[in-house]
Amino acid sequence: MKTLLTVNNSGSLDMLPRDRANISDLVAAVEKSVNDKIGPVSCTWVAQISCPPSCPHMGSGCYAESGTAAFTTNRLNRAARDFATLSPAAVAMIEAAGIDTLTGRRDLRLHVVGDARTDKAAQILAAAADRYIARGAAKNKAVRVWTYTHARDTRRESWGRISVLRSCETMPQVRAAHAAGYAAAIVIPEHVHDRAYKLDGEYTGIPCPEQTGRAANCQACGLCMQDSKLHARKNVIVFAAHGQGKRKMTHLKTV
């Protein structure tokens, strides 16, 4: 039987059998996305075993579980059934290996589906992002890496240079994210404004420019790639629920 070495949460090595699904099938690393929303960027997709079980969208309207995205999500999740005991750090190591195959010529969106729910997992991805940015710099490309997270126990510093927005559904969650050092994004049922507006008198909500037609795609917009500026200015990116699963997202509130 063939085996593969992976790293568990404690930093020790695990031996995993290779007579089942290929462990690399838990991750898809794409050199150039054809997704109209994010634009012509590189991206990663990761099986949902990487996501925190507390994510309110999982199985309840997650955009990656419906439409054409569901084909990739379902394929990754099927592969993950053979590796259900993998630690978050081990999954992050597999994703990092995928990132290392990318050229570094384009901005990189982590986790079209997926997440990093522990400090160790985020640190592994932060190191991979550093290598990615360095490959871009060697090609005279100032590439950016960005993502979103529903993880509540991962420290912001563990993400390193990755621009990461904590995904929220309520204003108390936004305030908690900001206090923890995160820029925040909030998901609501639908946009009620297409321009910036006050949230709770303290924060400024910015409706996603791609969704409101003010930017062609995420790559052209770039707001979510500047989390330190968003945090300093108390700007919150506001997303309207999207995808075929949005009808299931009955827990969302308008702000």
DSSP string for residues in 18-65: -SSS-GGGGEEEESS---TTT-S-EEEEE-GGGS-TT-TTTTTT-GGG
pLDDT at position 253 is 56
Say if residues 183 and 166 touch (Cβ distance below 8 Å). Answer: yes
Say if residues 125 and 110 touch (Cβ distance below 8 Å). Answer: yes
pLDDT at position 6 is 42
CA distances to 67, 70, 98, 179, 186 from 73, in Å: 10, 5, 16, 32, 23
- pLDDT tens per residue across all 255 residues of the chain: 333 444 444 444 344 444 556 999 999 999 999 999 999 999 999 999 999 998 888 887 787 888 888 999 999 999 999 999 999 999 999 999 999 999 999 999 999 999 999 999 999 999 999 999 999 999 999 999 999 999 999 999 999 999 999 999 999 999 999 999 999 999 998 888 899 999 988 999 999 999 999 999 999 999 999 999 999 999 999 999 865 444 544 444 566
Burial 189-208, CB ≥16 within 10 A → b, else e: eeeeeeeeeebeeebebbbb
| 3-class secondary-structure state, position 199 | strand
State how far the Cα of 192 lies from the Cα of 231, in Å rounded to an integer: 23
CA atoms within 13 A on the CB side of 31: 4
Q: Could you count the other beta carbons within 10 Å of the beta carbon of residue 4?
A: 13
pLDDT at position 2 is 35
